[in-house]
Structure 1
Amino acid sequence: MFEPSDSPRLFGLPPGADFPAELLRGLEKRMDGQPPEHWARIELFVNTRRMARRITELFVRGPARLLPRIQLVGDLGRDSLLTDLPPPADPLARRLELAQLTAALIRQEPGLAPGTAAYDLADSLAALMDEMQGEGVSPDAIVALDVSDQSGHWQRALRFLSIIRPFFDARSLPDPEARQRKVVEELVAKWQSAPPAHPVIVAGSTGSRGTTALLMQAVARLPQGAVVLPGFDADMPAQIWQGLMDDPGAEDHPQFRFARLCQELDHAPWDVSGWTDADPDPGRRKLVSMALRPAPVTDGWLRDGPDLGNLLDATGRISLLDAPNPRLEALSIALRLRAAVESGQSAALITPDRNLTRQVTAALDRWGIEPDDSAGKPLALSAPGRLLRHTAAILGQAVTPEELLTILKHPLVASGTDRGAHLRLSRELELWLRRDGPPHPKAADLRTWSERKEIDGAADWIDWIDATLLSSAATADGDLSDMVAAHLRMVRVLAAGPQGIDSGALWDKKAGEAALTAMTRLSEQAHMAGPMRFADYRAVTDAVLAEELRDPVTPHPGVMIRGTIEARVQGADLVILGGLNEGTWPEAARADPWLNRKMRAEVGLLLPERRIGLSAHDFQQAICAPEVLITRSIRNDEAETVMSRWLYRLTNLLDGLPQTGGDKALKDMRARGQSWLAQARAVEARIAPAPRAARPAPCPPADMRLTELSVTDIQKLIRDPYAIYARRILRLKPLEPLRKDADMALRGTLFHQVFERFVAEGIDPADPDAARRFMDIARAEAEADVPWLATRMVWLSRLGLLADWFVAQDAAHRADGHAPAALERSGTYDVPGTAVRLRGNADRIDLRADGSLVVLDYKTGKPPSAKQIRQYDPQVLIEAIMAEAGAFHGLDPARVTEAGHIELTTSPKWQIHALRDPNAKDPLSPEEGLQMLQALLRAYGDPGKGFMARRAMEKLTYDYGYDHLARYGEWDTSETARTVTLT
């Protein structure tokens, strides 16, 4: 097939060429006149499965001929016929073994790392070990590094790196990367002594990994061997190639790996022959080549730029789209893909941004187009994957209402039984959990709820929940085998349902099969891990379910979504390069907890620049396609983005060459891109926006007006009458959140209970032991009502600071003639001259020696001033009115001379206001308060009076739970309310 040659055979195909098609064309030319059976003797190594499939598809199209032996470079290590090495170790088993060793080291030396980091550190060590084996770096090389470390970090890192040393021993079962390298080394040695007589070709690889580069060098030297390089830039001047070979720091250039390969083979890059005469767009190729020159020589732009010729021709089929945000970028891409389908073009979206591809897929769904996505979606995001992750998260800990409902409402739960009844009961349970449910519901709580509400059919259902979700807290840490078995047993019973006998739809379809395979594999390898904590088990589960799942139903043959490495297999009429921003393309360098850049360079491991160079090569390949649309978003969800360095270079080069039409070419590129952005905006504009709501002020009829209010409702009626309308007239209650947080309301309730109980138990505040007894009460109440240990300790600490102060203040007030007369006393009061009855509870009412009363209210926040009491928050003034009228049960009517608050903040005080004090700055008078109350209630008893939303909120941050119903945000508080009479 090949003529004898003294030099290695290196061929290249230019960027933009359809690599598989041109590879086949070159083979046809060289096999012309050869016997048909010689086709079957060709041994072809390619780098991806998709490349192998595409080559096979091209052969199938004809003419009829025998198929070469096509192999993946990555499969050499798994070929049992090439070596007598033992089979490779299972990667999952190796990671579990590393996790066990890492956890043991942390237990032995706790100062090295937190115990919760064991699995993450093991995973990072496994990745480092794979890289070391692939690049042929021994642990001795790393230990021998000369590192001056004052902080001790390197010594701690070496303790962990010592864990992986035994796995490099010849007696250890080899990892896949180690076996791959050993197989290639044995194959190279075999070829040196007995080179194969048949053609051996490595096609499509860049030699970025040490093992692959070793294979390519050996094949290039074979008598019938050849290496075909993808995206080889034959337009680069010799001095640029020489600069790449002389500068090890130029790894971020797209052609660096080819320069290094040529250097290893003692072959000049400018002497690399073309595999075929393919030259799809020489003008575009030269433009991109110049734009991507290494930074130190970009001054050559001014010298060589004018030689590029008319740049309008080179960029005539390139469009550049700068979208304002990712949403419009995705919609613009989807519109362009749809146009390609309608015109019969084949199109490929190439991007490393998986969020962008998911948004594009969702946008295409509106037109019924399902792209052929090479990555698919993570198994963890499929229905069985989500159920497995949700259930793993609750193992070994008490379930919260949020977690409980998340699992119960999962589409696979109870899929093997009557799901309708299950959903009905789940809805009833959710309503109860939101309103009255405990932070961590138990089976007894659920049974009490069902009996009180008389929920039909709930007994068996609650038993089923108890046996699966509620009992998970009792599961203890232990062997991974037991954890996996318990986990799988739980999800199977959950999927079956209360009366189900199988696993329902849990393992159905491709996603279910993949999830079952992953969990079965984990179960089979679990013996390698030994004892494990549930926190680590969750990390293991996430790692096992991290694989990608491809399950397209009817993918469109002409619409493809590809990763960057697959730019080499494009073969599409239109290529869209999406997400051209720094941090996305190229991706941001990942942090290495073990070795810095200098140490990696010294031992020969991969540098961040190498990954950038590979990504740059993929970009150079893709941008030379027949037609290209380049997209980026100017802003992401958080901040303004930075244009990708390669796109930045290209636009700068074009803008700096006005003499050859570069600035006009760039303007035209953007204009073509903006046309798609304009269509995207037009598509969104077709969605008629909902009419903007006016500020509401509904007027219910007289027979629906207020007849009963709580004392605390009065401040709401003053500030936000619409909230009273929604709550008391429409009888709408806001749904409480599922997650029970330690909020201000719970803290206020706890503090009220502690102070009320202290006074109610008749403890003498003058007793030296009073403060201790106060804290005994506080601890008992907190343990009963606050399940969060950290929050409980913080609140008890605050109560401890209040204890001595309150005891001393209470003792002083009692010595001054005050005696508690009523605690948490309820009462009702028919407001004279109105049709409204008030009801409420007074926190504390003291009886003075002269027979008068003092109304007190506990306040864990800042209490209102006298002015605020008169205008916004008249609660204590209304309670004084009720006390004087004898409205509180068991408390005789008496004159109230003082009212105020006991402030329980970090600066506590008794803030008491004298009533009817003519010398006060803001005098408070029950008589005046009654008049204002009557005027307020009469006003809202008038059928012509509207309940205006947010009438006088005092602070815009206030929200009584009905702003969404009033559609606040579509209007603001400066607008006039629209009164609507209701019938």
Structure 2
Amino acid sequence: GEGVSPETIAALDVSNHSAHWRRTQDFMAIVAPLFQSAEAPDPLALQRRLVGELTALWARTPPQGPVIVAGSTGSRGTTALFMQAVARLPQGALVLPGFDFDLPGTVWDGLGDALTAEDHPQYRFRRLLDTLDRGPGDVRPWVATQAPCPARNRLISLSLRPAPVTDQWLTEGQHLTDLDQATDKMTLIEAPTPRAEALAIALILREAASTDRTAALITPDRNLARLVTVALERWGILPDDSAGRPLALSPPGRLLRHVAALFGRRMTAEALLAVLKHPLTAAGAGRGDHLRLTRALELKLRRYGPAFPTVAVVAEWAAKQPDPLALAWSAWLGQALAGVETVATRPLADHVAHHLALTEALARGQGGADASALWAQKSGEAALVVMQELQREAPHGGNLTAFDYRDLFEAVLDQGTVRDDVLAHPRILIWGSLEARVQGAELVILGGLDDGTWPQLPPPDPWLNRQMRLQAGLLLPERRIGLAAHDYQQAVAAAEVVLSRAVRDADAETVPSRWLNRLTNLLGGLPMQGGPAALVAMQARGARWLRLAAALETPTTAQPPAPRPAPR
């Protein structure tokens, strides 16, 4: 998408680099002809070609009506070419999102070096303006509406200055005399755990729902989004999650995963009970009898074992039960589970057929003739599509072990998401950073502000280092950090903002997001302007929500410990 040819990579000067990069360059020269011999261009190359043809067409016959590009930063080469073509039209216009009018001209001038400025939120605008032979002064506000809090915008703009010029915090920070106004509607939550963070966020969203305000949680952390969704269930609030729900975590997805986990291994009590107690198992008219027998079997297994129940163990247990349905139920279960432990290497088509047949048999239940509940609603339809696609492609899959099939199936299932036909709360929203670019809310919560989560750290590039990518005209790894910084700068400009993070995750202590670190350090270094007091006030507002979250999970009455066993 950047229009960089293999010849450009081959021409890179690597004389001042280690021998590893020379070997990489030689290897890329070997594989380059394979890509050039392709009959059809890849999607990115096709897009760039189409933009070039459209630009040439507009140069010959400009469109008569207005052409507007809105909401794009032009971060990719093909997008930037299209925006340049629109900007040169007689009635073309670019509407730039989140343009920083508080950034001084000297800082704009310093954004030209990609190695030091790529991670700045305004770098892409500087590069776009350079291609148009324009400057920041040529960009005008497109509406006369004032920002919700101009003082906060100035504070955030100063906190995000490029690293080489952070000394401007001292020179320009003394002019920030309105820090109280800038931080009055800002809250900082530093929770001890992700669970506490999610519960505090859920309490804030619940209060917003009770006061008829629109509130949005913006986070790239899907685990945090799920924790908040679960916490809101206690008040009957279902947030409108733009990302939907992973198909693997939907009811049909869970049952399919539980069944796949049975293949080729000894049956454990936990695995058997997970399948039997699933809401979609025996979902028909006999669900009540099925649950009664399942609970009786669970009591037996948990009290007396064995840890690895077999079909014979279940049949022996059923023969001793006073319930007249137990024998028939155990026979149905034994027939359904026959052979799952002995599944070995076999064709993928056989794995899929067995998986589908067993899952539908469990969904029908004893004496049932219909497994439609398994494939009902959008989650069931999506799961059925996955199974049908696997069936269609299975003849090309070769032979797989039971463990390889399980890994393959879970990898395919993890790629799907689904939005169920459930009426979500119209004012309680969960967005990713991408969806938040084109929407707004009265209250915005920026969750998961930890380095590595927001922003996500760029992966290492084993083929080209940063200097080589810059010479070739490729995007630097810091591009994604810069885009995430732009999303942060836009979101934090809302009327009321909550900044949230967890001090520790499941493994170790976390590192605050670099943007949050910059903000707190800037405020802490402006005592004459009231910065430390403003920071303490932000933290106090966050601590209040953490106390409420802790109180919500504190038992109202103490549970006395069980008497210690005292054998005589």
Indicate the TM-score class for this superposition, using the shorter chain for normalisation.
0.7 to 0.9
State the partner residue of 1:315: 183
| Structure 2 counterpart of 1:254 | 121
Q: Distance in 2 between matches of 1:602 and 1:527?
A: 46
* 1:475 Cα deviation from its structure 2 partner: 4.1
- SS class of match (2:374): coil
Distance in 1, matches of 2:325 and 2:521, equals 72
Whole-angstrom CA distance in 2 between matches of 1:696 and 1:345:
50
Partner of 2:453: 584
Instruction: Say whether the 8 Å CA contact 2:280–2:373 is kept in structure 1.
Output: yes
Q: CA deviation at 1:468?
A: 3.9
Counterpart amino acid of 2:112? M
User: Which residue pairs with 1:509 in the alignment?
Assistant: 377
Number of residues paired by the alignment? 563
Q: Shift of residue 386 of structure 1? A: 0.7
Q: RMSD across aligned C-alpha pairs, in angstroms?
A: 3.5
How far does residue 530 in structure 1 lie from its aligned partner after superposition?
4.7
After TM superposition, give the deviation of residue 398 of structure 1 in Å. Answer: 4.6
| CA deviation string 1:692-735 (max 9, x = no partner) | 43x846xxxxxxxxxxxxxxxxxxxxxxxx264xxxxxxxxxxx
The equivalent residue for 2:215 is 347
Residue 491 of structure 2 corresponds to residue 626 of structure 1: no
CA contact (8 A) 2:315 2:331 kept: no
CA distance in 2, matches of 1:400, 1:229: 58
- The AA in structure 2 aligned to 1:657 is L
Tell me the equivalent position of 1:813: none
After TM superposition, the structure 1 stretch with the greater mean CA deviation from structure 2, 467-476 or 291-300, is: 467-476
Deviation string for 1:777-812 (max 9, x for gaps)?
Answer: xxxxxxxxxxxxxxxxxxxxxxxxxxxxxxxxxxxx
Residue 422 of structure 1 pairs with residue 290 of structure 2: yes
Which runs of structure 2 are paired with 1:214-229 in the superposition (5 Å)? 214-229=81-96
Q: What does residue 234 of structure 1 align with?
A: 101
Question: Over residues 500-538 of structure 1, what are the superposed CA-to-partner deviations in whole Å (9 max), with x where a residue is unaligned?
Answer: 222141011221122112332333344554555544433
How far apart are residue 237 of structure 1 and its match? 1.5
Superposition deviation, residue 287 in structure 1: 1.2
2:164 is matched with which residue: 289, 292, 296?
296
Q: Which has the higher contact order (CA 8 A, sep 6+)?
A: 2
Q: Deviations over 1:905-932 (max 9, x none)?
A: xxxxxxxxxxxxxxxxxxxxxxxxxxxx
Matching residue of 1:273: 140
Equivalent in the alignment of 1:360: 228
Give the distance between the partners of 1:628 and 1:540, measured in 2 at CA.
Answer: 42
**1:202-227 residue CA offsets vs partner (Å, 9 max, x unmatched):** 21122233332332232222332222
Aligned partners of 1:177, 1:379: CA distance in 2, in Å?
28
Residues 344 and 415 of structure 1, relative CA distance in 2, 3 Å threshold: closer
Q: Distance in 1 between matches of 2:446 and 2:228?
A: 13
For the residues of structure 1 that align with 2:256 and 2:154, how far apart are their CA atoms?
52
Q: After TM superposition, give the deviation of residue 454 of structure 1 in Å.
A: 8.4
Following TM superposition, by how much is the alpha carbon of 1:177 offset from its aligned partner in structure 2, in angstroms?
4.5
2:72, 2:108 → 1: CA distance?
19
Partners of 1:474 and 1:312 in 2: CA distance = 69
Change (3 A) 1:409 1:275: same
Instruction: Report if the CA contact (8 A) 1:348-1:570 is conserved.
Output: no
Aligned residue type for 2:388 = T
Q: Helix, strand or coil: the match of 1:581?
A: coil
SS in 2 for 1:630: strand
The alpha carbon displacement at 1:175 in A equals 5.5
- Residue 494, structure 1, aligned to residue 365, structure 2: no
More deviation, 593-602/347-356 = 593-602
1:348 counterpart SS class: strand
Offset from partner CA, 1:736-766 (integer Å, 9 cap, x none): xxxxxxxxxxxxxxxxxxxxxxxxxxxxxxx
Q: Is the contact between residue 442 and residue 470 of structure 1 (CA under 8 Å) also seen in structure 2? A: no
Deviations 1:573-624 (A, max 9, x none): 1111122222222123346676665665565554431111111111100111
C-alpha displacement at 1:458, in angstroms?
5.1
Under a length normalisation based on structure 1, what TM-score does the superposition of the two structures give?
Answer: 0.52
Identity in percent? 54
Find the counterpart in structure 2 of residue 523 from structure 1.
391
Rounded Cα–Cα distance in structure 2 between residues aligned with 1:158 and 1:636: 40
CA contact 2:8–2:472 (8 Å) conserved in 1 = yes
Task: List aligned pairs for 1:601-612, cutoff 5 A.
Answer: 601=470, 604-612=473-481
Distance in 2 between residues matched to 1:531 and 1:505, nearest whole Å: 31
Give the distance between the partners of 1:428 and 1:682, measured in 2 at CA. Answer: 37
- 1:253 offset after TM fit, Å? 0.8
**Correspondences of 1:452-601 after superposition (within 5 Å):** 456-457=324-325, 460-526=328-394, 529-546=397-414, 547-551=416-420, 553-590=422-459, 601=470
User: Which residue is equivalent to 2:521?
Assistant: 652
Structure-2-length-normalised TM-score: 0.87
Whether the 8 Å CA contact 2:2–2:76 is kept in 1: the answer is yes
Contact in 2 for aligned 1:578/1:631 (Cα 8 Å): yes
Give yes or no for contact 1:417–1:498 (8 Å, CA) kept in 2: no
**How far is 1:149 from its partner?**
6.2
* Structure 2: distance between partners of 1:216 and 1:539: 43
Kindly state the Cα deviation for residue 167 of structure 1 after the two structures are TM-superposed.
6.7
3-state SS, counterpart of residue 412 of structure 1: coil
Instruction: Name the larger-Rg structure.
Output: 1
Offset, 1:330: 2.3
Q: Give the distance between the partners of 1:140 and 1:390, measured in 2 at CA.
A: 51
Uncovered stretches (5+) of structure 1, i.e. residues with no partner: 1-133, 698-721, 725-939, 941-983
Contact 1:372 1:552 in 2 (8 A): no
| Equivalent in the alignment of 1:29 | none
1:409/1:246 CA distance change after superposition, 3 Å: same
- Partner residue in 2 for 1:209: 76
2:504 and 2:510 in contact (8 A); partners too = yes
Check if 1:245 corresponds to 2:100.
no
